[in-house]
Structure 1
Amino acid sequence: MQYLKILFFFIRLFTSSYELIQNPNNDQYDEEFNLFLFAILAIGIVVSIFIIIIGIVLVLLILFAISALITMGALSTSLIVGLNKKSFTKGFKTFAMLICTLFSTVFGTLGFYIFNRIVHWYSNSTAIISGLVTGLVSGILFGLLATFTIQKVSNYLKNRLKTSM
């Protein structure tokens, strides 16, 4: 019986190799240019380049915003206040107050100047000074309101997170 198994194994081994030698490869390759696959490749490359460009622009905008905040001193000042007081919330409150005051002053000045150019009620210097004062006061008030609101919302979310655990 063992002899027959070995004989069958060798017969099978030699016939399969003989079969592979006699069977030529009749596969026909399609050498035609496939326009659909090329179009998908081109679209993929264009989308990839577009996404890379968007990423680069976003990174540059973020770097520009950070450098502008550092140049103005808002980020540096709030960081120094936070480190001096050893409190993240004090530093954030300082940052929010500075940013709100700065942007409200700029928008108030521009708003009063443009409004005065339309209605011609005051001189330009009076409109600019009025815009500066109004923007400064509204910026301080909005900064206080924003920090108060952010503090209350963060406390609410923190308490909600503790009760859900």
Structure 2
Amino acid sequence: MSKKSMKLAIGQLIIGGMLILPPAIAADTVAMADTVVMAEDNGSESVDRGEEEIDEYDIGTPAVGIMALIMVLFLLVLVGVGLAIGVFIFLVISGLAFLGILSASAVVGVYQKSSRQGIKTFLLLSCTLAGAASGAVILYVLNRVVHWVSEGYSLGIGAATGLVAGVLISQGLFFVGERAYQYLKLRLKQ
């Protein structure tokens, strides 16, 4: 190589006095470092390009940092609003389901002219709904840990199992409640 200086770009190497250029970097690209290495036949020398240090964590002016902070805060507020809306919708749907179960139980009790049938319907509907939801969630979480079946199957199997368990639990609760009512009725008569 001649004694005239060459500009080196980031990623170029000098090995044994020979300049190695990567194919993607042009030789006339200006180096971003403080010092540019000059290639010569008999060795290499350094030329100082200036006193300015380049910080790899420098994000520019303070305005850019302030804008980034404002954007992060704005996104956090949006996430909070989204969570609040989701919780509100969940509570509204849960309330409507509860009112539906309660009104259906009242209608059955009035139609059958028996408060016993209304209570039995209430227990049956509420326990099956709660059982199906909890069974689906529990089996989904267990499936994520153990990997038994696919996610869709785990939700379906969990909901079906919870539905059956809810029916059995509602029948058991009704039986225990009826026996307790009869026992208390006899005790209060004496």
For this structure pair, what is the TM-score category when the shorter chain's length is used for normalisation? 0.5 to 0.7
Structure with higher RCO (Cα < 8 A, 6+ apart)? 1
For 2:95 and 2:159, how far apart are their aligned partners in 1? 25
Q: Which has the higher strand share?
A: 2
1:106 partnered with 2:115: no
The one-letter code of the counterpart of 1:152 is R
Quote the Cα distance in structure 2 between the aligned partners of 1:158 and 1:109. Answer: 39
Instruction: Deviation per CA, 1:122-153: give whole Å up to 9, x if none.
Output: 10011011101100100000000000100000
Partners of 1:128 and 1:120 in 2: CA distance:
13
- Separation in 1 of the partners of 2:185 and 2:171? 21
User: Which whole-Å CA distance do the structure 1 matches of 2:167 and 2:120 have between them?
Assistant: 11
Is residue 121 of structure 2 the alignment partner of residue 94 of structure 1? yes
Match of 1:13 in 2: none
Amino acid in structure 1 at the alignment position of 2:174: T
Quote the sequence identity (%). 40
C-alpha distance in structure 2 between counterparts of 1:145 and 1:153, whole Å:
12
| SS of match in other structure, 1:121 | coil
Aligned twin of 1:32: none
Aligned to 1:133: 160
1:67 Cα shift? Answer: 5.1
Query: Of 58, 62, 69, which aligns to 2:98?
Result: 69
What does 1:13-162 align with in structure 2 at a 5 Å threshold? 68-70=97-99, 73-162=100-189
**Moved segments of 4+, more than 2 Å:** 64-68
Would you say how many aligned residue pairs link Structure 1 and Structure 2?
Answer: 98
CA RMSD, Structure 1 to Structure 2 (Å): 1.5
After superposition, the C-alpha distances for 1:63-119 in whole angstroms (9 at most, x for unaligned) are x8765511xx10111000000001111101100111111101100000000000111
Query: What is the deviation of 1:121?
Result: 1.4
Unaligned runs of 5+ in 2: 1-91
2:172, 2:148 → 1: CA distance? 32
